[in-house]
Chains A and B, each alone.
Chain A
Amino acid sequence: MKSLVNALNSNRFVLLLVLLLFLLIVPLIMKASWVSLVNEMLIMALAGCALNLMLGYTGMVSFGPAGLYAVGAYTTAILLTRYRFPFAIAMISAPILAGIIGGLVGWFCVRRSAVYFALLTLAFAQIIWTILFEWYGFTGGDNGIVSIPIPEFFFTISHCYYLTLIIVGISLLLLWTIVQSPFGKTLQAIRENPGRTEFIAIHLKRYQLAAFVLSSAFLGIAGSLFCVFSGSVFPDYAHWVKSTDMLVICLLGGFYNFGGPIVGSVVYILLSKMISKQTMFWMFFLGVIIVFLVLFMRNGIVGFLSEKLAPVLDKTSGSGPDEGTR
């Protein structure tokens, strides 16, 4: 609560407000294809931030976030298509089911740490992919599910955009509250020094599992939003390459930072779109950028900029007591 009050008082809040206003008027000032693009960026930003709860804040490297993202997407898709559930219920079920599956998967994964944890998440995500791909009767198999009966209202890109904006906004607010809370501080402590944290009577595995479940739930929301956005779902939503995209987004923006994945999402989607228009070999340039990123900009864009501009901005604005990270 105190952090909220502090936030309200500072310059940051003004900037946040400006950004929010900008996002609100996007459909009015931009062409439909750009609105669609910003919509995608918002969804990816949420997915990135969800992953970052585990990655940046708790120090748990997951190679399989796309699995839970796909669970969210398919939950909404199947409930709408097969069982004709009302739209709101289909959407709210996504994070619930993703959270449950995340709990099941996570329970196994947190038994191990570091490399083994990562490989477990990868294996589980691939199992999810395999189930989605093979179970034609239920999930549509490799054809996926198309023509999902989302309400006609959301066919218009600007309506869909506002839905995304509202849901992403609320989700990010929730995530922000989580990381600022004592729970969030504990997660960061776990990241910094798991041994010592355990020493002060924190049940490590329980917190890690909690982070896993929350992360999965928000990934589920992102997946569900994408299902509505595109009107179709495919098994590749769970593929390890998609997971790697999410990891790159976090890295690109900077994962020691709440807003890092947001920046990462915007830049990554923008870059892929621009480069792929130019050349047949766009993947080469993407690879070069990724390598460059890992070698020279390990804290991502936000980290890089804050290092370079820190001396300048230290004078102009104070940093609040709630900035606990890097």
Chain B
Amino acid sequence: MKKPILFSTLAVIFLMMLLGFSFLAQSAEKPIVIGFIHSMSGAMSMYGISSEAGGQIAVEEINAAGGILGRPLKMITRDDKLNAETGLREAKDLILSENADFLTGTISSAVALAISNYVKREKKIFLVNISQSSSLTEENWHRYIFRIDTNAVPYWGYAPALALAKKWKDKKIVSLGFDYETGKNSLRAFKEKYLELVPDAKIIDELWAPLGTTDFTAYISKIANSGADAFFLSCIYGGGELAFSKQAYAFGLYDKMHAIQPCAGDIETWFSVKKGDPYPKGALATCRYPFWAIKDPRSKQFVEKHNKKVGFLPSYGAMNQYLIMYALKAAIEKVGAVDTEKIINALEGMVLDTFVGKIPIRPYDHQAMMPNWYGVMDFTPEFSFPYITKIDVIGEEGYHTVEQIKKLREGK
């Protein structure tokens, strides 16, 4: 090997980088830049694409109406590849290279935690639109993080507990969850609330499957033999949930006992399921954006625009990203400038006027009190896929109280 080659090569490459850097167009000072980091490739990319669409719809509407304080809004999308390192790298690039004023997005809680940690140092605001881990706004909270989305505590825990206590009050429950932190926390939250409401109930068994399992045969037969009145799914979502539902349906599990399947309410999983196909029959499910039950015409417009943009119906991520854009608009206009510290103060306690109601952002944890809906899974002629019917809603009571969060933060 010839050493000069090595070093010349390295030198040339570094030179190229230098030239590249000097020719890079500087991002214009004028637009307000919002960085959007999400899973745009891989298994969860449906949510990334949907959320991006929701954000872009807001950007187009806002710019058509003159922008914010006369400045256009610009959203830059980056792919985190469902990987915390990559997400962090993109976050750094967005803030350091693209001069992003705000960061938004993420579906993976690990990515969200990494970015949250980073923005704390950089003193920029990060608004989460999907990542569910409650620790983001509870134990690991800091000034610069906001979440305009529900979180794992109500969605996977308190809401199903409240719903079950209202509906069936089952006494013997067996749980099955994905074996990771959010899964464990979700079950804990569910147990906490449910056993408070129905004290003589018992979780007779807790089963855990490795994250990413798609063959639940062994778990289903154990559940079927457990003698429980109901089973509860803790954090089994997406492809895994679809597989589980098919298998459980084929085993006749939904006829054998009650099903509490929180994630089933989110329709993205069921797009390809038609009447007659296996689905979580009669399951009690929670949902984050049941647009078919929302009367506000702005919601209907949003659904249409999203469908036109990407060819499928909106996920809750799209709605949340849309709301994030408008929340920032309201805060910036209130403050009169893009001043991070003042905008944080403006956002705390702000009541968002959304098409799902008036939603306050709680100052203690910067968590928007997004409602959680629940209902029973069924087919109706309105859609080709199954969704929740007989809908009811749970609001602020689904979240941890400020006292509970205080204890968690101190315990840390």
Binding site for B on A (CB under 8 A): 10-12, 15-16, 18-19, 22, 29-34, 36, 40, 133-134, 136, 141-144, 146-147, 155, 157, 230-232, 234, 236-237, 256-260, 262-263, 266-267, 270, 273, 276, 280-283, 301-303, 305-306, 309-310, 313-314, 316-317, 319-320, 323, 325-326
Among B1, B41, B83, B120, the residue within 8 A (CB) of A236 is B83
Complex contact B84–A262 (CB within 8 A)? no
Partner of B3, one of A12, A157, A263, A310: A12
Contact residue among A36, A270, A303, A313 (Cβ-Cβ distance under 8 Å from B17): A270
- Contact partner, B180, options A32, A133, A263, Cβ 8 Å: A133
Mark B74-102 against chain A: 1 for CB-CB distance below 8 A, else 0. 00000101011100110011001100000
> Is B197 interfacial (CB-CB < 8 Å)?
no
| CB–CB B88/A232 < 8 A | yes
Nearest Cβ distance between residue B114 and chain A, in whole angstroms?
A: 5
Contact residues in A for B9 (Cβ distance below 8 Å):
263, 301-302, 305
Q: Say yes or no: A19 contacts B10, CB within 8 Å.
A: yes
Point out the residues of chain A lying under 8 angstroms from B18, CB to CB. 29-30
Inter-chain contacts of A262 with B (CB < 8 A): 6, 10
Contact (Cβ within 8 A) B5 A147: no
Is A283 a contact partner of B84 (Cβ separation < 8 A)? no
Look across to chain B and name the residue whose beta carbon is closest to the beta carbon of A266: B13
A36 and B96 form a contact (CB under 8 A): yes
In the bound complex, do residue A142 and residue B96 qualify as a contact, i.e. CB atoms below 8 Å apart?
no
CA distance A142 to B82 in the complex (A): 13
Distance of B109 from chain A, by nearest CB (Å): 7
Q: For B97, what are the chain A residues with a Cβ–Cβ distance below 8 Å?
A: 31-34
A136 contacts across to B, CB distance below 8 A: 181, 184
Given A143-B181, A146-B114: A306 touches B85 (CB 8 Å cut-off): no
A303 → chain B, closest Cβ, in Å? 8
* Contact pattern, B 6-22, Cβ under 8 Å of A = 1, otherwise 0: 11111101100110010
CA distance A267 to B81 in the complex (A): 20
The answer to whether residues A146 and B181 also contact, given A19-B7, A232-B84, A301-B9 and a CB cut-off of 8 A, is no
- Contact of A142 (CB < 8 Å), options: B1, B89, B117, B180: B180
Q: Are A234 and B11 in contact (CB-based, < 8 A)? A: no
Question: Closest chain B residue to A267 by CB distance?
Answer: B13
Measured in the bound complex, the distance between the Cα atoms of B88 and A144 in whole Å is 13
